[in-house]
Structure 1
């Protein structure tokens, strides 16, 4: 672990009718850590993000932020206490400029918006020349970078990134990784869901693998890649429908 544990899930369970989307999931995230969360389609990754961020209340288990239980706390409460999240589908304020998207994210901070912090993030994300551009006009890769910058604008303690590299070019992914590393070095705890497993393995110091709603494996990228159970979940023939982008990414790294 890189530092003090700031986010924990203990025994988290979620049911959709008779289907167990999550079944006794445990997860911990430390300050200054970049942790990857991977798994085949339907493994429960986004459902776990919904529980951690407060969008969905679990049927079992609990979530702790800085050691205090927050299972019943709202997404707004968690955001005010240092948690930020991005989504698979882009969630920008399209009719605001890139710069204003970041400043709006800082409105709740004491002392008002921090224009210096916003400018710093725009430079780091390669968006400085686009600060006055309406966010809704940006291509996918640049829009994803704006989402990252906006999520980091108020110096969160916990950052949940849901497929942030989706639609990015190789150069954009490199810049994304560089910014995430800087945020972690500043003490932010980052949890990353991403179908590009090669990207996850290069960026993260620890990887958690979900399969069928349970934690299948956890460890360093090298340990996870060498785990026979992980290879079966991604590459085996247990369920042909499971051949998803996740599996393609692992195949490329195997």
Structure 2
């Protein structure tokens, strides 16, 4: 056994003649918060699709607690402890915040009282008590993302995938998000894999960071190791010619105070 709650082994994906992922090998241990960063088009969301079962890889395997789940459905993976949020909001807009959390528990065994108690606990933990009765479709982006996180936690996950959870959040909301993620890792022993374009947020929250570029793992290590890696700075700062880089939007990358930061950009391929 590797000791990883989540592991990808040699994952490869093609879109026609374009290789979106190539020999991607990552692992996240129980209780670890791992960041996944990279320029736009690096393959981050594609990797999330593979891990969650939405897309089957042409090569490689996905393992949960050492068990090969590559051919398992998204529903099977969810019922065995894998949860995911999406870059584009997926809430039931015509339901209240509390009802969104209740619906997320419909498949669970237990009484209505038990499910409601869990929803109330999540509202408190995620700082959502004041909007429990508000319609989810009317929420500002930052609050809606916290509701998505709470819904992903409706049944305590073994592995949690977060796709740009801080996008659109205020500084206060990002602090709340970070506190919930740390609680899940430290107290619930959850393995968290986090994709986020706010690199400062990633570096402050994550114990380890993996960098994807052009569908391959470019670097992996502690935040300090990744910051210092010249290959990472090259990929982010764009010192290669435009023909060597695909999918980078103008103005996507800026440097500030010696660190590398990304602005919010559209979805990966």
**TM-score, length of structure 1 as denominator length:** 0.94
For residue 70 of structure 1, what is the aligned residue in structure 2? 69
Moved more, 22-31 or 235-244: 235-244
* Cα drift, residue 249 of structure 1: 7.0
* Cα drift, residue 245 of structure 1: 7.2
For residue 259 of structure 2, what is the aligned residue in structure 1? 253
Aligned partner of residue 209 in structure 1, secondary structure: strand
* Cα drift, residue 98 of structure 1: 0.4
Q: How does 1:187-198 map to 2 (within 5 A)?
A: 187-198=189-200
For residue 50 of structure 2, what is the aligned residue in structure 1? 51
Q: How does 1:38-187 map to 2 (within 5 A)?
A: 38-112=37-111, 114-185=115-186, 186-187=188-189
Q: How does 1:12-27 map to 2 (within 5 A)?
A: 12-27=11-26
Q: Does 1:211 align with 2:213?
A: yes
Whose helix proportion is higher, 1 or 2? 1
Q: Does the CA contact (< 8 Å) of 1:96 and 1:134 recur in 2? A: yes
For residue 34 of structure 2, what is the aligned residue in structure 1? 35
Q: Does the CA contact (< 8 Å) of 2:210 and 2:217 recur in 1? A: yes
* Cα drift, residue 243 of structure 1: 5.7
Runs of 4+ in 1 over 2 A off after TM superposition: 112-117, 239-254
RMSD, aligned CA: 1.8
Q: How many residues align?
A: 252
* 60 and 136 in structure 1: CA distance in 2 versus 1, 3 angstrom threshold: same
For residue 242 of structure 1, what is the aligned residue in structure 2? 248
Q: Does the CA contact (< 8 Å) of 2:37 and 2:209 recur in 1? A: yes
Structure 2: stretches of 5+ with no match in the other structure? 261-269
CA distance in structure 2 between the partners assigned to 1:140 and 1:18 by the alignment: 36
* Cα drift, residue 120 of structure 1: 1.8
* 210 and 132 in structure 1: CA distance in 2 versus 1, 3 angstrom threshold: same
Structure 1: stretches of 5+ with no match in the other structure? none
CA distance in structure 1 between the partners assigned to 2:100 and 2:218 by the alignment: 38
CA offsets 1:155-191 (integer angstroms, 9 cap, x no match): 0111100000111111111111011101111111110
CA offsets 1:57-104 (integer angstroms, 9 cap, x no match): 000001011111110111001001011101110000111110111111
Aligned partner of residue 63 in structure 2, secondary structure: strand
**TM-score, length of structure 2 as denominator length:** 0.89
Q: Does the CA contact (< 8 Å) of 1:121 and 1:153 recur in 2? A: yes
* Cα drift, residue 239 of structure 1: 4.2
CA offsets 1:25-81 (integer angstroms, 9 cap, x no match): 001011111100000001000000000000000000010111111101110010010
Aligned partner of residue 5 in structure 1, secondary structure: coil
Aligned partner of residue 253 in structure 2, secondary structure: helix
CA distance in structure 1 between the partners assigned to 2:249 and 2:121 by the alignment: 40
Q: Does the CA contact (< 8 Å) of 2:237 and 2:255 recur in 1? A: no
CA distance in structure 1 between the partners assigned to 2:35 and 2:257 by the alignment: 17
CA distance in structure 2 between the partners assigned to 1:188 and 1:87 by the alignment: 18
